[in-house]
Each structure stands twice: as structure tokens, then as C-alpha cells.
Amino acid sequence: MGSSTGSPIDDIAYLARSEHRAPTLVALTVRPRSRSELWEMTGVSSSTIRRTLREFEDRNWIRREGYRYEATPLGAYVASAVAELIERLETERTVRDVWQWLPDEDSGFTIEMCADAVVTVAEADNPYAPVNRFLELLRETDRFRFVGSDLALLEPCRDEFCRRVIDGMRAEIIDPPSVAEYIRSTYPELSAETLASGNLTIRLHDDLPSYGIALFDHRIAICGHDPDSVSVRVLLDTDAEDAREWAESQFSFYRRRTPTVPLEAIE
């Protein structure tokens, strides 16, 4: 069968029907490989690899040099697109079930920012997984900033957060007034000691996003929570530069619009 028969969709379907085909083509763009190398790499039978290489040759995607095969410019072109598609789908699958809890596109947040992110979801058998991940990040930072409604994180993280601030971690939080009032009335002694350290700055804003944005030394995190149950549903954290820029811009946007709360107004 000629290499130009059928449609582009047929070629996509061909590559997708067997999991080894796309990785094989991508591997041949990296360097020439022998049939035995490809057989060991993919885990399929030698006859399957032999048939796949023959089908690639029919499409002019690869050429043979001695006992090794390498991608042609045509094959490299296809492999690049396939690798990008696979990467995009891997990212999409990572956030597919939690996208509703994350920032929408109107905020400037994009799914590309989720590539290589750590996504921690609250499951029935581990409801505090996002909170525990948040605590890990909190223990590794010397500076912490947060904007959003952090009540969902407050209860399980309260003691650790206050101890870190008292011990010297610099923190700046932009909260709704209702959260600041809750902290002050529910934990007066702990709040007073934390504020007295001089390491915590609190700002109040009435109109904050439904999610939380946390900025650590080396990573940023997005906290998606269920406002009805006041529980954290997902924590997405990443060190991606574009995500960092987005988080910094969001924090700065609200910071410019919120005055610092005087100490005596909280104590």
C-alpha cells in the first residue's frame, strides 16, 4: 500500500492503535537504533518491531543504515507533533477531574501552566492529602505569601503555620475580613503571639478569588476548595516560570488594593 493513501486521520489512528508505535518513532529521532534495541525498549515481540519498522519505511518516516534505523525529516516532523500531543494529553489527564476547582481562563491561568505540576487530590481514603502536601511546601520555605480564602487550609495547618512565623518565616496574607475575624475570635492567644513576632503581614479584601494562591520560595501552589464543606479538594504546585509569573501578578494585583491591617485591629 502506498504511503500517501488514506487520510491524516488514518495515520494518527495507526500510531495510536498500538502503544509502542509513537515511542518507537520518537526514539528514532533521538539517535539511530537497532531492531534489538527497539525490541528491548518497547517490550513487544521482535516480529512486531520488524513489522512496525517496515510500515514506517513504507511511509518514508525512517531509513535504514546498516543494521540501524533512524528517522527521516518526515518522520522527525511527525514524531515532534505526536510527542507534543502526548504531552498535552498527559497534562490534560492530570487536571481533568479537578479543573473545576482551579482558576478559569479569565484570570490568565492556562492549562499549559499545569505541565509537570504536582497535583494532589483529596480522595476518600486520604482526604487530607492536599493539606499534607501544603505542609511539606510550608516547611521548606523561608517566605510565604497567600491570597484567597484560606479557611480551608487554616484548621489543619494553623499550628504549623504559626510556629513557622514565630520562628522567623516571613509571611504576607491577603484574606477576606471574615477569615481574619474568625482567626482573632477563635484563637486569640495564638494569633497574638504570631502577630507579635513581627513576621506576619495581614491585608483584607472583600472580593477575592474562590481559590487560593500560595507563593513559596521555589514553587507556587493553587488551592481549590469546596466552599460548602470548607474542605480542600486539590492542591496543584509547580515551579514553572509562567505559573510563577501568573501567581506573582495575581498577588500584586490584590496587594495594591489592600491596606495593611493595624495590629490592634486584629488582636
pLDDT digits (tens, 9 = 90+) for 177-232: 777 677 667 766 767 888 889 898 888 888 888 899 999 999 999 998 876 666 78
Number of domains forming the structure of the chain? 2
Is residue 172 in some structural domain? yes
- 126 shares its domain with 141: yes
- 79 shares its domain with 111: no
- 102 shares its domain with 169: yes
- 58 shares its domain with 182: no
CATH number of the domain that 57 lies in?
1.10.10.10
Write the CA distances from 183 to 119, 146, 151, 257, 267, integer angstroms.
28, 15, 9, 22, 10
* Structural domain containing residue 52: 8-92
Among the residue ranges 49-53, 197-201, 242-246, the one predicted with the least confidence is: 197-201
pTM of this structure: 0.76
Per-residue pLDDT at 150? 63
Tell whether the model's pLDDT for residue 247 goes beyond 50. yes
Is residue 179 in some structural domain? yes
Q: Quote the percentage of the chain above a pLDDT of 90.
A: 55
| Bridge partners (DSSP) listed for residue 173 | 146, 202
Q: What is the pLDDT of residues 76-121, one digit of tens each?
A: 999 999 999 988 898 888 888 888 888 988 899 998 898 889 999 9
Tell whether the model's pLDDT for residue 235 goes beyond 60. yes
Is residue 238 in some structural domain? yes
Q: What is the pLDDT of residues 147-156, one digit of tens each?
A: 987 655 666 7
- 158 shares its domain with 220: yes
- 185 shares its domain with 258: yes
- 130 shares its domain with 198: yes
- 119 shares its domain with 42: no
Q: What 3-state DSSP class applies to 125?
A: coil
Tell whether the model's pLDDT for residue 52 goes beyond 90. yes
- 135 shares its domain with 114: yes
- 32 shares its domain with 111: no
Let me know: does 170 contact 144? Beta carbons within 8 Å.
yes
DSSP per position, 27-90: HHHHS-EEHHHHHHHH---HHHHHHHHHHHHHTTSEEEETTEEEE-HHHHHHHHHHHHHHHHHH
Q: 92, 117, 144 — which closes off a domain? A: 92
Q: 76, 92, 108 — which closes off a domain? A: 92
Among the residue ranges 71-75, 173-177, 233-237, 258-262, the one predicted with the least confidence is: 258-262
- 120 shares its domain with 245: yes
- 179 shares its domain with 82: no
Is residue 3 in some structural domain? no
- Which amino acid belongs to residue 37? E
